[in-house]
Chains A and B, each alone.
Chain A
Amino acid sequence: MRDKRTSHDEVIAELRDGMTIGIGGWGSRRKPMSLVRALLRSPVTDLTVVSYGGPDVGLLCAAGKVKRLITGFVSLDSIPLEPHYRAAREKGYARGGEGQGTSAEGGLGEGKEGEPSRTGPRGSSPPERAGIDTAELDEGMLQWGLYAAALRLPFLPTRAGLGSDVLPLNPWLRTVTSPYDDGETLVAVPALELDVALVHMNRADAAGNAQFLGPDLYFDDLFLGAAKKRFVSTEKVVATEELLAGGSLHTLRIHRGMVDGVVEARLGAHFTECPPDYGRDEAFQKRYAQAAADPAAWGAFADQFLSGTHDDYVRAVEALR
């Protein structure tokens, strides 16, 4: 079996401007946050993001990385509305090009004194705010689009969406008529083909066999199935024979044929929950949400938690305890 262990930066080096990225987990649950933060530090932009959204989507919106978002919601669960997403929807965010993500925009652009800023020069003129092109689908439609892509089908039919404003607000969605005697008209959810999928698992071996030990896989297998390049971060890389010691056969839903790279990242999902390894860090999430609502506070938060490597992040988080 091939050793697919790699690093955060090597995964992000596979990304290109304009790609379609799928992010696993659900809301503020088992999100590949360390990979998302690595993406924030990279110059990659103009992304189409597909996600059952949580702070992953919020951070990418705030950093001006998102051209288009396909989702059913963006929530922190215990905080119903993701504050960066809310701001992006209501006020718009700059994206792409010069001057994006300055701190006045709530972005991540402030480098430390004397260092070049990663995403834009300090004091650059305020960029024009643009709304993010958001496609809000029914939650189930998102699953269906990923499943269609994973099965290499052009679409899968469903009743979900009919009669609602999902269809008029998203003219790229079409309907299909049943070829059988019922003649029913259904929504044809198009395959949501991904260039890259990022998911976080409790355990994995070096070859990419991965294990969820919490109550819900969510749709992580479909994100991987829908993507050309598939990356799994994991709390712990273990020997293959140790996988079954940690959980039943049914927890081994991700096998190595679905995975191109494995990144070991203890606390890789923090501050989102990753049971049974850890629950959601509600205190930290509150700190995040409060900072996100205040541009001045956000610059300090970004400096403290988002500017360094994953190891720096873990140290900064553990210093709070």
Chain B
Amino acid sequence: MTTTEPRRHEICAIALAEAFRGDGEILASPIGILPSIAARLARATFAPDLLMSDGVASLVAGIPPVGAVDERPTVEGWIPYRTVFDVVWSGRRHVIMGASQIDRHGNQNIACIGDPKRPKAQLLGMRGAPGNTINHTTSYWIPAHSRRAFVARVDVVSGVGYDRAAALGPRASRFHEIRRVVSNLGVFDFQTADRSMRVVSIHPGVAIADVVEATGFPLVIDEPVAITRLPTAEELDLLRRVIDPRGLGAREVPA
């Protein structure tokens, strides 16, 4: 067992893994390194029924290490893009996406910065964000918490937030859920009366004032502010020895 103190990216991995708790036998779709580490950790511990793809077209069994190119995990199914869309629209999926911008109601932008007719910066495009957010559970991973990312107003709504969902009415929005937002500073959700973003916990060593300062809108803060839980010894061992032996997760979180 590893004995050194957990590092920030490992605490983020735990916070992201917790997003999948209770999800059962659905497709976990982590976008990015730490979400991928987190989904593996969840499956290796408290969410063993999660399905995961190899990022190409196979559902894979076991806990293959992240970033391993020469590993040949056991394939348990075929999931070409057409099947991915079927799963998205069936609702049996939980995606962790990134967000170049996110607002207090959870509207997400990955499309572009500036006027979408003639953007200052083209980003990834709409990709699957509109369909994901209106059809199944979504969480977000934002590795650099700042006022550039946590904004009063997103330039383009790719992923649907709670205010936009509410405006559609209860029927059209009944599958919409933003489970949590995890950043390098803390964990956030929308379990508030007006579905605005709330601090669930801040990571050990982070001051709530730093979170407030780095956020471009008012956060709902319940006192006393909780601290994100630490990985257990077993979880740390899994992270360091099995899931991320090359230490890729550390690269995604600024020191």
A interface list, Cβ under 8 A from B:
26, 71-75, 80-81, 85-86, 89-90, 92, 131, 136-141, 143, 158-166, 169, 182-186, 215-219
Contact = CB atoms under 8 A, between A and B. Distances in A.
B124 A75 contact: yes
Interface in B140-185: 156-160, 164-165, 167-169, 171-173, 175-176
A85 B164 CA distance: 29
B85 interface: yes
Nearest to B121: A90
B118 interface: yes
A140 B128 contact: yes
Given A72-B128, A81-B122, A163 B171 contact: no
A136 B78 CA distance: 28
What DSSP secondary structure best describes chain A's contact surface? loop
Contact of A216 (B57, B121, B134, B164): B57
A163 B111 contact: no
A102 to B, nearest CB: 21
What DSSP secondary structure best describes chain B's contact surface? loop
A163 B82 contact: no
Contacts, number: 134
B138 interface: no
Contacts of B116: 136, 165, 169
The contact size tier of chain B is 35 or more
Ranked 9 nearest A-B pairs via Cβ: A160-B131, A164-B130, A73-B125, A215-B57, A163-B160, A138-B130, A163-B164, A89-B122, A216-B80
B195 to A, nearest CB: 13
Contacts of A185: 168-169, 172
Contact of B85 (A137, A139, A182): A139
A177 B35 CA distance: 37
B81 A164 contact: no
Nearest to A250: B78
Given A165-B116, A165-B156, A216 B56 contact: yes
B126 A89 contact: no
A138 B112 CA distance: 14
Interface in B95-119: 111-112, 116-119
A163 B157 contact: yes
A159 B172 contact: yes
A164 B175 contact: no
B217 interface: no
B191 interface: no
